[in-house]
Amino acid sequence: MDTSNVVYPSSEDDRERNLAAKAYAEFEGKNYSNAVTCLLRLAQFRQLDPRVMHNNAVASYYNGGLKKTDDFLKGMRSVETQLEKCAADTDDEVLDVERAVIVYNQALVQYHTRQYRKALSKLESLFKVIEPLVEERLGRRICFLLIEIYLRLYQNESASKMIAYVEKTVTGAKSGEKDAEGFLPDPSSFHQKTHMENLPLLYQYKARLSLALRSMKACKRDLKLLMDSTGGGNQFPLPLYLKAQLEFVRQNYRKSTRLLNSAPRSPAVLPSGESLLSIYFNNLGCIHASMKKHNLAAYYFRQSLVENDRALASFAPMSRAARLTGRPLTCLGLNRRYELLYNLGSQLLHCGDPVEAFDCLLEAVQVFHTNSRLWLRLAECCIRAIQKDENVTIGSRADGYKSKVIQSIIGSGLHQKVIVASYSQDKSTSAHGHGAAMPTLSLEFANICLRNAWQLLPRERDGAAESAEQGGAANGASEVYPSVHSIPPIKFSEVPSLKCSILACSAFISLCLGDYVMALEYGTQLLARANLSGLENLLGHLYVAEALINLGRLQDALQHLSMEIASNFNLSSTDDKASSSGPASGKPASDPKKEEVVCLLPGCTMTWNAGSAKAILFINLAVAYTMRKEYDKARKALQQASSSVRGQDLPPQGVLLAVFLELQAGNVSSVLHLLKRNQTGMAGRSGDRGNKKKR
C-alpha cells in the first residue's frame, strides 16, 4: 500500500505543516493509531482536501491490521469523487499523483482478490503516465505489480518487456550492462538503497519468466543470482520451490521431491498470504501425477485440501455483507480450494472413480466455468460412470457367478435355455426424474458439457493456423489463450487436440443416445481434421461406420471398416497430446510406454494396444458383413480379430457374434463350446444337444 507524503503549498500555517509532518513520522514509525489521530486533527482545518482524506483512509486501514478492506475501498471511492471536484477547479500536478496512488491502491486490492484483469487494466493506464512517478516508490511498485500480474496471466511477452524496462529504468542499470553471469549492475550505480532491495524480487520474476518460457539455462542462472541475493541457505522457501519447479519441468522428479522436502514447511500462514503446507502437498501431487502414480497423487491433493481448509480456519469467517472484512489484505486470496479440486478430480478420473471425480470437478466449475478442458473432463466422468455401471450390471447373477456373455440360465435338461447379455439397452437417464441440464452422471448432461467445451474454444485460430502453431510449440513456450482463466492454461497449440477429443466424445455420446445423424456429423468433422492421432483416426472411422450402419447405409459403412485402415493404424502418437484418450474409455491421456486396461466397448476389458484396437475394427467389420448376410466374410473378419489379440479373449460382442454365425451354420457343438468358455455355470451340463439359445 503506497503512502506518499502529503505536499502542502507554502501558504499553509506552521500548525498544519507540523500536524502533517507528525502524521507522516508516526505512520513511518508504524504508530498507526497516532497517525490517525494527527490526520483527524488535520482534517478539521482541511475537511475537503482529498490528500488528507486519502492518507486518513490509508492510516485507518493499517491501524485495523489491513482487515477492513470494504471500508478502505469505500474511502478510496470518496477520495476519488473529491479529486474529480478539485480537478475541475485547479490544475494541480499533485492531484494527478494522488489520483495515481488511489488507482494503484484499488489495483492492489483487486490483485489480492485475484481480479487480475481488472487490476491489469488500471495499472496499464498508470504505466502510460509513469514518467513523473518512476523516481518514486509508487513507480517501482507499479512496475513490479505489473510484472506479477503478467506472469499470473501467462502473458510472457508483456512480462519480458516490463522486466527489461525495470532493469533499464527503475534499478538504474544502463542498457546492455551485463557481466559473465547476466544482469548484475554495480550497487554503486543505484540512486537509493531501496534499489538494492529490489534485486531479489527482480531475479525472482526473471526466473519465473524463464520457467514459463522453458528456458532452462536462463532459469538456472537467474535462480543462482536469486540465491546469492537472499544470502543462500534453506531459510527462504521461494528459491527452493522455484528450483524444485525447474527440476519438475526437466522431468527430474526425484530431485524435485528432494528439493521440496528440504524447504521449510511452516504450518502457519505466511505474511504473503500463502499456506506452505498446502503448496507443498499440491506440488507433490503434481509430481506423482506426472509419474503416473495417480492414486498417490490423489492422496497428496487431498492432504493439500486439508491444509488449505486448516489455513482458512485460522481466520474468522467473512460475512456476505462485508466479504472483504475480517481477513488481512494479503490473505484475501488464500483459498485455493477450487484449483485443488480440479487437480484431485483429474486424478480420481485416472484412478477409475468417476463419481467422486465428478463431484470435485462440478464444484470447481463454479469458479472456472470458462475452462474448456474442465467441461471436457466432466463429460468424460459421465461416460466412464455409465460404462462402469454396465460392467457391474451386465451378466451378474444372484447365485454367485458373473459373465459378460451369459446373463442367466433357466430350466434344466432338455428345456434348459441360455439368456445372453444384452448390450442394446437405452443409456438415457434424463427420463428418470432429471432434466438434461441437471448436473448428474448422465449422457445428456455430458452432451451439454461437450457443447460448452466447444463453444469456449477460440474460433479464429483454426485450420492451417493451428497446424502452424503446433509445429512451433515444440519447446512448450507457445501462446496461451488469453480470454480463459484456466487451470492449467490452454495454449493455442493445444486447441486442435482438444477439438478432436470433444468431437470424438460427442460422436460417442450421440451413438449411445441413438442420435445417429449427429453422430455421423461429429465423426465426419473429426476425420476431416488435420494431424489426427492413430487412436482418434480409428475412433472416427468406427463411429462413422456405426452411425452409417444404423442409418441403413451399409456400403458406405464398409469403406470406414476396410483392411487398409486397420493396416495403417498406429498407436504410438496418441498420448503426447493435451486431450484425453479414447472417449470410449473416458480416461485422460496416459503413458504410451505403459499398457493400461481400458474399456473400449460396454462390457469389454482388454489390454489397450494396437492389436486390441484392430480387433475392435474387425469385429465391427464382421457385424456389417453379417447384416448383409455375407456370413463367410464375417467369419474371416472374426478370425482376424482373434489373431489380433493373441492370448486374450474377444470382447463379449465378438463372442456373441461368433455364436450367431455358428448357429447360422448349424454348428451347435461349436456354440456350446463358446458358451462353456464364457460361463462356468454350464460345466457338466453342456453335453446335451437340446440346449438352446434365446436371442
Predicted pLDDT of residue 592: 34
Whether residue 39 lies inside any domain: the answer is: no
**Helix or strand or coil: residue 224?**
helix
The three cell numbers locating residue 219: 532459469
Predicted pLDDT of residue 296: 96
Same domain, 648 and 521: yes
Are residues 394 and 603 in contact, defined by beta-carbon separation less than 8 angstroms? Answer: yes
Are residues 347 and 297 in contact, defined by beta-carbon separation less than 8 angstroms? Answer: yes
Same domain, 576 and 690: yes
Q: Which residue in 647, 646, 677, 645 sits closest to 659, CA to CA?
A: 677
Average pLDDT over residues 15-20: 85
Same domain, 349 and 470: no
Q: Which carries the bigger pLDDT value, residue 167 or residue 599?
A: 167
Same domain, 583 and 487: yes
Q: How far apart are CA 263 and CA 251, in angstroms?
A: 19
Please tell me whether the overall predicted TM-score, pTM, comes out greater than 0.75 for this model. yes
Helices 337-350 and 354-364, axial angle in degrees (round to 10): 160
The answer to whether residue 94 scores a pLDDT higher than 80 is no
Q: What are the residues facing 597 on neighbouring strands? A: 607
Whether residue 134 lies inside any domain: the answer is: no
Q: Which carries the bigger pLDDT value, residue 643 or residue 541?
A: 541
With cell 470494504, the residue in question is 70
Predicted pLDDT of residue 660: 85
Q: Which residue in 329, 330, 333, 335 sits closest to 73, CA to CA?
A: 329
Q: How far apart are CA 305 and CA 335, in angstroms?
A: 10
Q: What is the pLDDT of residues 152-163, one digit of tens each?
A: 988 999 999 999
The neighbour count for residue 213, using CB atoms within 10 Å, is 17
- 597 burial (CB, 10 Å; 0-12 / 13-18 / 19+) is exposed
Q: Which residue in 129, 124, 199, 197 sits closest to 155, CA to CA?
A: 124
Distances (CA, A) of 390 to 80, 147, 227, 515: 63, 52, 56, 20
Are residues 376 and 450 in contact, defined by beta-carbon separation less than 8 angstroms? Answer: yes
- The CATH number that applies at residue 451 is 1.25.40.10
Same domain, 451 and 581: yes
Whether residue 70 lies inside any domain: the answer is: no
Q: How far apart are CA 146 and CA 149, in angstroms?
A: 5
Whether residue 330 lies inside any domain: the answer is: yes
Same domain, 576 and 462: yes
Predicted pLDDT of residue 356: 95
Are residues 260 and 283 in contact, defined by beta-carbon separation less than 8 angstroms? Answer: yes
Q: Which of these three, 306, 341, 367, is where a domain ends? A: 367
What's the domain range around 307?
265-367
Start-to-end C-alpha separation, the chain: 77
The neighbour count for residue 591, using CB atoms within 10 Å, is 12
Confidence of residue 458 (pLDDT cuts 50, 70, 90): confident
With cell 502542502, the residue in question is 8
Q: Which of these three, 367, 397, 423, is where a domain ends? A: 367
Same domain, 472 and 586: yes
Q: How far apart are CA 159 and CA 163, in angstroms?
A: 6
Predicted pLDDT of residue 176: 40
Same domain, 361 and 455: no
DSSP per-residue string spanning 38-62? HHHHHHHH-TT-HHHHHHHHHHHHH
Same domain, 483 and 356: no
**Helix or strand or coil: residue 409?**
strand
How high does pLDDT run on average in the chain?
A: 77
Q: Which carries the bigger pLDDT value, residue 198 or residue 365?
A: 365
Confidence of residue 438 (pLDDT cuts 50, 70, 90): confident
The answer to whether residue 582 scores a pLDDT higher than 60 is no
- The CATH number that applies at residue 344 is 1.25.40
> 695 Cβ partners below 8 Å, 6+ apart?
420, 660
Are residues 126 and 142 in contact, defined by beta-carbon separation less than 8 angstroms? Answer: yes
The neighbour count for residue 129, using CB atoms within 10 Å, is 12
The three cell numbers locating residue 38: 494527527
> Among 119-128, 174-183, 406-415, 674-683, where is mean pLDDT lowest?
174-183
Whether residue 373 lies inside any domain: the answer is: no
> 61 Cβ partners below 8 Å, 6+ apart?
1, 68, 69, 71, 72, 75
Q: Which of these three, 351, 367, 383, is where a domain ends? A: 367
Predicted pLDDT of residue 5: 43
What amino acid occupies position 85? Answer: K
Order of strands, sheet of 417-420, starting from the edge strand that comes earlier in the sequence: 406-410, 417-420, 692-694
Q: Which carries the bigger pLDDT value, residue 579 or residue 168?
A: 168
Q: How far is CA 117 from the centre of its chain?
A: 19
Average pLDDT over residues 349-358: 93
- 73 burial (CB, 10 Å; 0-12 / 13-18 / 19+) is middle
Same domain, 333 and 463: no
Q: How far apart are CA 508 and CA 504, in angstroms?
A: 6
The domain total for the chain is 2
Are residues 549 and 532 in contact, defined by beta-carbon separation less than 8 angstroms? Answer: no
Q: How far apart are CA 244 and CA 267, in angstroms?
A: 20
Could you give the count of Cα atoms lying within 13 Å of 524 in the half-sphere of its Cβ? 10
The three cell numbers locating residue 682: 454350464
Q: How far apart are CA 258 and CA 284, in angstroms?
A: 10
Average pLDDT over residues 142-151: 93
The answer to whether residue 561 scores a pLDDT higher than 70 is yes
Predicted pLDDT of residue 579: 37
The answer to whether residue 422 scores a pLDDT higher than 50 is yes
Same domain, 357 and 475: no
The three cell numbers locating residue 317: 469467517
Confidence of residue 644 (pLDDT cuts 50, 70, 90): confident
Whether residue 458 lies inside any domain: the answer is: yes
- Give the burial string for 298-309 (b: 16+ CB within 10 Å, else e): bbbbebbbebbe
